[in-house]
Structures are given as structure tokens and as C-alpha cells.
Structure 1
Amino acid sequence: MWLLLLEAGIAMFLLIFIVWWTMFAGRKPERPAAKRPPEDDDRKA
């Protein structure tokens, strides 16, 4: 029984670690969004 709890705990730790790693590891400094010129309505046909 303790082996199942240990395995479940390790799986939970790995899940949380992977989510944390993907959310915060590669974060870049935020830059203001580049302004796009307004599109012409004639092109949307």
C-alpha cells in the first residue's frame, strides 16, 4: 500500500514540477505590443 502512495506522490510531484517549469522557466521580459497599421476594408472580400 505504501508503495502505491509513494508512486502517486512522485507522479504528483512530477506533474507539478513540469507545469511550473513550463510556466516560469522561459519567461521573457514583456515588451509593449507593436502597433499594426489599420487594414483596408477593401482587402476583406
Structure 2
Amino acid sequence: MWLLVVEACVALFVLVFIVWWTMFAGRKPDQHARKPPPANEDDDRKA
């Protein structure tokens, strides 16, 4: 019986670790602050 409890705890730990890893392993902090390049005003005059 105790083996089932240990296995359940290990499975829960793996699940929490995978969720944590996918939440914080994304973009680096400097990539969040990037702004799109400013629009060229000449493009509006051509249309």
C-alpha cells in the first residue's frame, strides 16, 4: 500500500515540475520588452 502512495507522490511531483518548467522556460525577460518598429509615415501617403 505504501508503494502506491510513493508512486502517486512521484507522479504528482513530475506533473508539478512539468507545469513549472513550461511556465518559466519561455522567453527571456529582455524579449518581453521589445516594441514593434514604428510605422513608416510615407506608406500612408502612397495609398
Say which structure is richer in helix. 2
Indicate the RMSD between aligned Cα atoms, in angstroms: 2.0
Query: Gapped runs of 5+ residues in structure 2?
Result: 40-47
Q: Name the TM-score, length of structure 1 as normaliser.
A: 0.62
Give the total of aligned pairs: 37
**After the TM superposition, which parts of structure 1 deviate over 4 Å for at least 4 consecutive aligned residues?**
none
Q: Name the TM-score, length of structure 2 as normaliser.
A: 0.60
Residue 24 of structure 2 aligns with an amino acid whose one-letter code is F
Query: Gapped runs of 5+ residues in structure 1?
Result: 38-45
What are the residue-to-residue correspondences of 1:1-45 with 2, within 5 Å? 1-29=1-29, 30-34=32-36
How high is the sequence identity, in percent, across the aligned residues? 59
